[in-house]
Amino acid sequence: MSVLPIITHPNDAVLRRKALKVIDFGSKFQELIDNMVETMLDAPGVGLAAPQVASKERVIVVRLPDDEESKKEYGEQAGVLYVVANPKIVKASREMVEGVEACLSIPGWFGTVERHEEVLITGEDRMGKAQRIKAKGWLARVFQHEIDHLDGRLFIDIAKEIWEDKPEDEEKAAGEKPRRRFRIKRPPAE
């Protein structure tokens, strides 16, 4: 297993391409999954889509943290590793919720994005076996964010507002109070 370099916006067109259906669940695909999981945990992140590591495969990995707070809120789903090939949202709640998102491919940027509160996802597991996942709250948000990646969509495309947050130590070094710079609907350096 190895940690793969994460492609960052706007440096590579692979982030904007539609990922292709996974057909071959063989050893090359298994290696990709192992590497994606390692890359996500190393980042650290709660989700990763194949285009972010320059792959065209239609697959995502998702894992919420398993700390106490997360366990309280997400119960059995905290700490579970989800690998979903060819994911599809087959049902989505009418209720929409606003929340703050970030992306390993857009380091330092945050945005407010409206997402479905609950989704039902179908797809295959890493061996190609059919699976269904019910997700709500943060988990539902992560799935929607990652599935968007497979269609070349980034959260900055649909965010109500986005802003850049400097890392804290950088702020301290500059002797400034942490601040947020809001930029409405303007993706970074595109």
By the criterion CB under 5 A, which residues form the site for Zn ion?
Answer: 103
CB of 105 to Zn ion, least distance (A): 5
CB of residue 145 vs Zn ion: minimum separation in angstroms?
6
Nearer to Zn ion, 61 or 103 (CB): 103
In the complex, the smallest distance separating the C-beta of residue 16 from Zn ion, rounded to whole angstroms, is 13
3-state secondary structure of 114: strand
d(Cα 92, Cα 17) in Å, to the nearest integer?
Answer: 24
Do 126 and 30 meet the contact criterion of CB atoms below 8 Å apart? Answer: yes
Is position 117 annotated as part of the catalytic site? no
- Between 99 and 128, CB nearer to Zn ion: 99
For 124, other C-beta atoms within 10 Å of its C-beta total: 18
Cα angle at 151 between 70 and 34, to 5 degrees?
Answer: 55
Q: Residue 102 CB, nearest distance to Zn ion (Å)?
A: 8
- Give the Cα separation of 128 and 120 in Å (integer): 18
Of 44 and 178, the one with the shorter C-beta distance to Zn ion is 44
The DSSP output letter for 186 is: -
Query: What does DSSP say about strands 118-124 and 109-116: parallel, antiparallel, or unpaired?
Result: unpaired
Measured from the CB of residue 72, what is the shortest distance to Zn ion in angstroms? Answer: 25
Nearer to Zn ion, 157 or 171 (CB): 157
Neighbours of 72 (CB within 10 A): 9
Query: Based on CB atoms, which residue is closest to Zn ion, 29 or 109?
Result: 109
Yes or no: say if 56 and 17 are a contact pair by the CB < 8 Å rule. Answer: yes
Catalytic residue (one of 76, 124, 146, 170)? 146
Q: Closest-CB residue for Zn ion?
A: 103
CA distance linking residue 68 with residue 164, whole number of Å: 29
What residues are labeled active site? 146
